Amino acid sequence: MRVCVIGTGYVGLVTGACLAYIGHDVICVDNNEAKVKLMSSGQSPIHEPGLPEVMQSAIAKGKITFTTDIAAGVTHGEILFIAVGTPALPDGQSDTRYVEAVARSIGEHLHDGYRVIVNKSTVPIGSGDWVRMIVMDGMAAQGGSSKAEFDVVSNPEFLREGVAVFDTFNPDRIVLGSSSDRALKLMQELYTNIINREFAEDKTLSPVPVVVTDINSAEMIKYAANAFLAVKISFINEVANVCDRVGADVVEVGRGIGLDSRIGQKFLQAGIGWGGSCFGKDVSALIHTADDYGYNTELLNACVKVNQQQRVLVVEKLQQVLKILKGKTIGLLGLTFKPDTDDMRDAPSITLIDQLSRLGAKVKAYDPIVSQSGMRDGFSNVIVETDAERLADGCDALILVTDWKQFKSLDYAKMVPLMANPVIIDARNFLDRASLETAGFKYVGMGR
């Protein structure tokens, strides 16, 4: 099928590359010429495992091209994905101006034929009708010459950064929201190979469930899913804080309650809280939507508050061990909001850097991605080191911020004599406490 993806951030680029990889003819549109040139050469502008290989395979087969020409993309595609960013505004609303600009531009270049316009961006509930209105405004700008028809579909993404390619080929479900049988049929045809698990790691599984619903419900599914996961993390962090006070171990508690099939093991790892571009933005958007309709989401408000407090709690634990932080040197193991990504959006490390600097501490950091990239020169109030031993040198304490798997195998015994004070705050409960204490560290976990 002929596909156009407008916007090549995490969602757009992964979606476009994977659809091309499975055989569709894809044009990806972005207004950044340098980025288009980079992608056309087979290089990914983002760090996402497996993505460069998928891109290069699709390019070699002639299945994907990159352009700044939105008219060419709209003319090419029978299915048009809107995959631009919807960042949070200061009041918690989603900034939909990029979606609006794309929808209007699509309308201005729709001349004939039938198109399915797909909201892949996470948009406020009710945006399906709004996008339809904007597209029609764009068509009207043609002076009534357009003979095109279109339907709008909500097809929210559930990709996890760091495993986005895997998630595309192995989804838990595909959600399609529309009132048009014609559009829904085309969308299911588009995803046939993925639904049938032809590119899945485990091809013995049953077909991927397809949730067919109305647009508003599809949009709500995306927000509700992320809000639920955020609440689950905030819940286990609340439990961890009680565990600290009563002498229980939240790792054991999480393991015990997670064996209940109604609860499950995932997202029960206590620590520094959630970050990234999705949870905070989507929870805030849902809170704001509810407020627009006269409902106060007390549980979601509490979820956000707990998450904010959790980041400050790490600094409090440091103060309990070191007392005064002014004049101390603190090293952060990890900067990105999660492992296997270069994404710094709403990363807990940013809060820690700000808080520690405010308290007069000198902050150093080492991150497997950031330390090796040009990003390391763009940070203020932090010295980004090139390896873990340089990080440890002269530190009064280390804080494990991001659970990169390579941090499990660092030679911590070598780091102890380099430090002024061998303390480690394991803000993810990720490291092996016994081996660290054997190496000579004072270990402090979260809820342990």
175 plus 87 within the same structural domain = yes
Residue 275: phi and psi, rounded to 5, are -145, -160
Is 235 a domain residue? no
Please check the confidence at residue 376 and state whether its pLDDT lies above 60: no
pLDDT over 60 at 114, yes or no: yes
Q: Is residue 233 part of a domain?
A: no
Residue 80 carries which side chain, given as an amino acid letter?
A: L
Q: Which tops the pLDDT comparison, 203 or 45? A: 45
Q: 237 lies in a domain? A: no
178 and 252 both lie in a single domain: no
CATH number of the domain within which 267 lies? 3.40.50.720
CA angle 386/37/342 to nearest 5° reads 30
pLDDT of residue 377: 56
Q: Is 267 annotated as a binding residue?
A: yes
Provide the residue range defining the domain that includes 345.
248-448
Q: Count how many Cα atoms sit within 13 Å of the Cα of residue 83 in the half-sphere of its side chain.
A: 26
Compute the distance between CA of residue 391 and CA of residue 398 in angstroms, rounded to an integer.
9
Distance CA 155, CA 17 (A): 17
> Could you give the CA distance from residue 55 to residue 257 in angstroms, rounded to a whole number?
41
Q: Is residue 241 part of a domain?
A: no
Cβ–Cβ under 8 Å, residues 225 and 158:
yes
First-to-last CA distance in the chain? 53
Q: Is residue 253 part of a domain?
A: yes
pLDDT the model gives residue 144: 84
Is the pLDDT reported for residue 24 higher than 90? yes
Same domain, residue pair 319 and 437: yes
Domain co-membership, 309 together with 381: yes
Boundary of a domain, candidates 186, 213, 240: 213
- The closest of 397, 427, 430 to 310, measured between CA atoms, is 427
Among 107, 427, 47, 2, residue whose Cα is nearest residue 240: 427
For residue 269, say whether it is annotated as part of any ligand binding site: yes
161 is in an annotated binding site: yes
Structure tokens at 390: 């340089």
pLDDT for 121 beyond 90: no
Q: Within this chain, do residues 18 and 125 fall inside the same structural domain, yes or no?
A: yes
Contacts 24+ apart (CB under 8 A), 132-136: 134/100, 134/103, 134/104, 134/107, 135/103, 135/104, 135/106, 135/107, 135/110, 136/107
In this structure, which amino acid lies at residue 4?
C
Distance CA 76, CA 90 (A): 37
The response to whether 268 counts as a known ligand-binding position is: yes
283 and 208 fall within a common domain: no
Sorted by sequence, the CB contacts under 8 Å of residue 176 that are 6+ apart come out as: 153, 154, 155, 184, 187, 188, 210, 211, 212, 213, 218
Q: Are residues 40 and 125 in the same domain?
A: yes
Last residue of a domain, one of 165, 190, 213: 213
Residue type, 382: V
Distance of alpha carbon 54 from alpha carbon 22, whole angstroms: 10
Tell whether 257 and 388 lie within a shared domain. yes
Residue 222 domain-assigned (yes or no)? no
* Residue 30 assigned to a binding site: yes
- Distance between CA atoms of 307 and 298, rounded to whole angstroms? 14
Residue 182 confidence (pLDDT) above 70: yes
Q: Please give the Cα distance from 398 to 332 (Å, whole number).
A: 6
Flag whether pLDDT at 259 surpasses 80.
yes
pLDDT of 375 reads: 62
Q: Which of 346, 348, 349, 375 is nearest to 276 (CA)?
A: 346
pLDDT in tens, 284-314: 999 999 999 999 999 999 999 999 999 999 9
Q: Is position 158 annotated in a ligand binding site?
A: yes
Domains of the chain: total: 2
Residues 6 or more apart in contact with residue 190 via CB below 8 angstroms: 1, 3, 19, 24, 79
Is 204 assigned a ligand-binding role in the annotation?
A: no
- My answer on whether 348 and 205 are in the same domain is no
Side chain identity at residue 370, one-letter code: V
The answer to the question of whether 122 is labelled as a binding residue is yes
One domain for residues 268 and 155: no
What residues are annotated to the active site? 278
More confident residue, 92 or 244: 244
Taking the C-alpha atoms of residue 276 and residue 337, their distance in angstroms, rounded to an integer, is: 6
- On whether residue 148 sits in a domain, the answer given is yes
Weakest mean pLDDT among 67-81, 216-230, 375-389: 375-389
- The token pair at 368 is 């497997």
**Same domain flag for 81 and 205:** yes
222 labelled binding-site residue: yes
**Tens-place pLDDT, residues 417-439:** 999 999 999 999 999 999 999 99
Q: In terms of domains, do 323 and 386 share one?
A: yes
* pLDDT for position 378: 58
Residue 117 pairs with which residues in a beta bridge?
80, 152
* Confidence (pLDDT) at 67: 98
* Percentage of residues of the chain with pLDDT beyond 90: 90
Question: For the chain, what is the radius of gyration of the CA atoms?
Answer: 24
Residue 117 located in a structural domain: yes
